[in-house]
């Protein structure tokens, strides 16, 4: 029996931003197992966002292998890479990246416009958006509210609902609790883990705060999996 493909596999990945004294990153190996939750620790400026950009296909590695669900990103053209990301990866951005004048419902459903298989997995998309908002303890009338009128904590939960809708196999979270106090962080992570488990997704979250690591299956230091440096021109 053939094993299911890993949600994420990176091997011998090398990436370098162009320009004088440019930033470079080497990643010998990084993998996530199905339904695994992994926290990646690193200080500000250490390359965490670059790593996430490589995984999501926002930037392309110069060499090596990056596979999501067994599909190599290197074999996809930029447009196909964008569509693939929409189908298979839910992203929680540090700044949320919500459309402030659009309704919450429209923000949550946005990834489904470019991902027909993910839309099919969502079943009734509007009903699924309502269910996620309810489980994330958002107000009953939130779906018709412009996202820009919500509090920071509410916008954060809308960003989680947008990432989770359609059950993408991989959830990427970029410092999602950095603006919250300790009590709010704990409550937010409890909700996030509950929903990730229900969706059967794997979670990779980057942070600079080691105190959050107790909830995760694994905690990794960026310096243990990647070498970063400033290369001379």
Q: What whole-number distance in Å separates Cα of residue 21 and Cα of residue 35?
A: 39
Instruction: Find the farthest-apart pair of alpha carbons in the chain and give their distance in angstroms, rounded.
Output: 55
Q: What whole-number distance in Å separates Cα of residue 29 and Cα of residue 49?
A: 17
Question: Against a cut of 0.95, is the pTM above it?
Answer: no
3-state helix, strand, coil split of the chain in percent (to 5) is: 40, 25, 35
The pLDDT score that the predictor gives to residue 21 is 63
Q: What is the pLDDT of residues 131-188, one digit of tens each?
A: 999 888 899 899 999 999 999 889 988 999 999 999 999 999 998 877 677 777 787 8
Residue-by-residue DSSP string for 42-72: --TTSSHHHHHHHHHTSS--SEEEEEETTEE
Phi/psi of residue 169, nearest 5 degrees = -70, -20
Q: Please say if the pLDDT value at position 116 is more than 90.
A: yes
3-class SS at 219?
strand
Which residues, including other chains, have CB under 8 Å from residue 95's CB and lie 6 or more apart? none
Domain ranges of the chain: 35-60+89-221
Q: What is the pLDDT of residues 181-214, one digit of tens each?
A: 777 778 788 888 988 898 889 999 998 888 888 8
The top-level CATH class assigned to 35-60+89-221 is alpha beta
8-16 and 63-68 beta bridge pairing: antiparallel
The pLDDT score that the predictor gives to residue 1 is 44
Tokens of 10: 């990176």
Residue 20 buriedness (CB in 10 A; 0-12 / 13-18 / 19+):
exposed
Q: What whole-number distance in Å separates Cα of residue 214 and Cα of residue 191?
A: 15
Q: Which residues of 169-196 are buried (b: 16+ CB within 10 A; e: fewer)?
A: bbbbbbbbbeebeeeebeebbeebeebb
Q: What whole-number distance in Å separates Cα of residue 207 and Cα of residue 212?
A: 8
């Amino acid at each position: 029996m053939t094993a299911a493909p890993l949600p994420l596999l990176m091997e011998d990945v090398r990436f370098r931003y162009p320009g004088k004294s440019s930033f470079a990153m080497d990643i010998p190996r990084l993998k996530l197992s199905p339904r695994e939750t992994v926290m990646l620790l690193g200080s500000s400026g250490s390359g965490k966002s670059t790593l996430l950009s490589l995984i999501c296909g926002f930037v392309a590695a110069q060499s090596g292998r990056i596979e999501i669900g067994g599909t190599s990103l290197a074999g996809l053209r930029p447009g196909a890479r964008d569509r693939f990301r929409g189908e298979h990866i839910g992203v929680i951005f540090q700044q949320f990246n919500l459309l402030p004048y659009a309704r919450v419902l429209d923000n949550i459903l946005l990834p489904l416009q470019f991902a027909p298989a993910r839309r099919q997995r969502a079943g009734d998309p509007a009903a699924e958006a309502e269910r996620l908002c309810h489980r994330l303890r958002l107000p009953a009338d939130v779906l018709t509210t412009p996202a820009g009128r919500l509090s920071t904590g509410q916008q954060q939960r809308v960003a989680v609902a947008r990432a989770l809708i359609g059950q993408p196999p991989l959830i990427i979270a970029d410092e999602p609790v950095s603006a919250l106090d300790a009590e709010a962080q704990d409550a937010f992570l409890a909700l996030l883990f509950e929903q990730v488990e229900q969706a059967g997704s794997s979670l990779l979250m980057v942070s600079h705060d080691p105190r959050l690591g107790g909830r995760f299956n694994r905690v990794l230091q960026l310096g243990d999996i990647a070498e970063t440096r400033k290369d001379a021109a």
